[in-house]
Amino acid sequence: MAASTVFVDDALAVYHDLLQRGAQPLSPPEDKSYGQRDFGLRDLDGHLIMFSSPIG
C-alpha cells in the first residue's frame, strides 16, 4: 500500500470538511511534538493519506 502526506494550511478545517463529506478518518487531528497537526485516512483502495499543517 502507498502512503502520501498532503500539507494544508489548516488540518482541523480539512478534517471537519472531510467528516461532513462522509470520510472516516483513522483518528482526530493530533498536535505532534515536531510542530505539526496531523490526521490520516485510508482511501477506497486502502492507501494511507496523511494531512498535516503547522501548529500555531
Taking the chain (56 residues) in runs of 10, the rounded mean pLDDT of each run is: 93 96 94 97 92 94
Number of compact structural domains in the chain: 1
| Cell, residue 54 | 503547522
Q: Count of H helices and E strands in the chain? A: 1, 4
Distances (CA, A) of 20 to 15, 34, 35, 39, 55: 9, 28, 26, 16, 23
pLDDT at 33: 97
What is the model's pLDDT at position 19?
A: 94
* CATH number of the domain encompassing residue 19: 3.30.720.110
How confident is the model at residue 44, as a pLDDT?
Answer: 86
Read off the pTM: 0.89
The parent domain of residue 20 ranges over: 3-54
pLDDT at 56: 78
